Amino acid sequence: MKLITMKRVTIVAEALLADRLQEDVVRLGASGYTCTDADGKGSRGVRASEWEGKNIKIECVVQPDVAQRILKKLADVYFEHFAVIAYCHDVEVVRGEKYS
Amino acid sequence: MKLITMKRVTIVAEALLADRLQEDVVRLGASGYTCTDADGKGSRGVRASEWEGKNIKIECVVQPDVAQRILKKLADVYFEHFAVIAYCHDVEVVRGEKYS
Amino acid sequence: MKLITMKRVTIVAEALLADRLQEDVVRLGASGYTCTDADGKGSRGVRASEWEGKNIKIECVVQPDVAQRILKKLADVYFEHFAVIAYCHDVEVVRGEKYS
């Protein structure tokens, strides 16, 4: 069994952004993602409106450079106008013999 | 793009605790959370009954001192009487230019 | 409050594998798990077919040796034939006074 270190990126956003965000993460290099419905409550920061209601949580496991591109895209394009939070952390991913 | 280190706290509990736990995390300093339905199976430890069925998973991303307060509250108030598990880990959170 | 380091294992797979995977993680030593529905899109690697549709995400928090056994089982048994990804990372788990 071989473990490799990758980044798990988590994006929590208003449900209306689901399609756009899923297209973004794939275009920026993710080979896959999961998308889960979540209730939530949040604030975007000092100047942002509160939001409460249906959110989605998109998660993908990617190489570090892909994680960087996804987080930068979110900060550049979405943060000013939408309720979005995003973060990442290291995970140890198991690869089968066939993929090593 | 600026990344800051925060704590992601995850709480898994029986669904009947959803409202109380959501109020707790906000009162203790979380600016937001997500709450997801989950099926599950678990045990609380040596003296706890098994439980199986509808659970909720509450996640929030907070400063380390808020994470400490949330985990302490759970240990002090809920662990004796309810099926609850809770844990945290570091995440790198992206902030937009506007929020730095 | 006492925190101990454990491993959180995440398995994302086609929904048809839910029952088998839940039985596996318990048999291999997990005292509990959560199972969440997720939409998703993914690829298993160079020789794998794409898949898109209903996935499940199974998560459990276990001792490191149990995490190893679960990941090895997935690599040995499932990766060749099914669309499965799996990874783990450290979490700090809170224990109540009663369980320390």
Residue-wise pLDDT for A53-95, tens only, equals: 789 999 999 999 999 999 999 999 998 888 899 999 999 999 8
Which residue of chain C comes nearest to B90, CA vs CA?
C91
Q: What pLDDT, on the 0 to 100 scale, is given for residue B83?
A: 84
Q: How confident is the model at residue B87 (pLDDT cuts 50, 70, 90)?
A: very high
Specify the number of domains making up chain B. Answer: 1
* CATH assignment of the domain containing B27: 3.30.70.120
- Per the model's pLDDT, the better-predicted residue between B44 and C39 turns out to be C39
Check residue B45 and report its DSSP letter: S
Is position A99 within any domain?
no
Give the span between the Cα atoms of A9 and A64, in whole angstroms.
10
Is position B89 within any domain?
yes
Q: What is the pTM of this model?
A: 0.89
Give the span between the Cα atoms of B77 and B11, in whole angstroms.
14
Task: Name every residue in A having a CB less than 8 A away from some CB of B.
Answer: 10, 12, 36-47, 55, 57, 68, 71-72, 74-76, 79-80, 85-89
Contacts of C8 in chain B (CB under 8 A): 87, 89
Distance to chain C for B39, nearest Cα, Å: 5
B13 CB neighbour count, 10 Å cutoff: 24
Check residue B63 and report its DSSP letter: -
Q: In which domain, by residue range, is C59 found?
A: 2-95
Give the span between the Cα atoms of B10 and B71, in whole angstroms.
10
Is position B54 within any domain?
yes
Is position B28 within any domain?
yes
pLDDT at B51 over 70: no
Give the span between the Cα atoms of A51 and B83, in whole angstroms.
30
Is position A73 within any domain?
yes
Q: Is ipTM over 0.90?
A: no
Task: Suggest the residue from C7, C39, C68, C88 to mutate for an interface test with chain A (most A CBs closer than 10 A).
Answer: C39
Q: What pLDDT, on the 0 to 100 scale, is given for residue C98?
A: 45
Is position B99 within any domain?
no
* B54-83: average pLDDT: 93
pLDDT at A100 over 60: no
Is position C100 within any domain?
no
